[in-house]
Amino acid sequence: MDLQKFKGRKILLGVCSSIAAYKAVDLASTLVKAGAEVRVIMTKNASKIISERVFATVSRNAVCVDMWERIDDWKPEHVSLAQFAELFIVAPATANTIGNFANGLAPDMLSSTYLATKAKVLIAPAMNDAMYSHPAVQKNIETLKSFGVSFVEPEDGMLACGTCGKGRLAGLDLILSRAAELL
């Protein structure tokens, strides 16, 4: 894969509370090494799985978690991050976040930023196979697709919960390839 397409690009990475959050570190690191400017938003529960310091270190930028964190200027953070992004990648994306996005709900920084952005959006779901195949989740995915949101389908295989099925976060190369196409 030619990573040159990411040089000088502005990427916003949303990280949700899936055990696959550790894989998003490689995604952020690869994008930065390719020359992209990467900003990261984590859900509060994602920060319980993996430290925001890890993402701050690999992205070389502060990580946003809370809507009500103290900010240094007058700009609401969710709006300035939404305006920053050329591409908004959410990987891993949980059923909860997909549902919030599809239904216009904004209970957290990630969902509020999604509603405020005009950037292209790429979602890479990761969750239990039964959750992924649930009609409500599939309906939310179809709704988002009708809004122009792009998806990278999860992979089949052994899941962290011990079941086997479709729900594993797509591989890094596939996510990067799809992101490059969108840019």
* Catalytic residue set: 161
Cα separation, 95 vs 99, whole angstroms = 6
The DSSP-derived string for 21-77 is HHHHHHHHHHHHHTT-EEEEEE-TTHHHHS-HHHHHHHHTS-EE--TTS--SSSS-H
Tokens for 51?
A: 């430290």
Task: Indicate the SS3 state at residue 121.
Answer: strand
Q: Residue 7 burial (CB < 10 Å; 0-12/13-18/19+)?
A: exposed
Give the Cα separation of 158 and 168 in Å (integer): 8
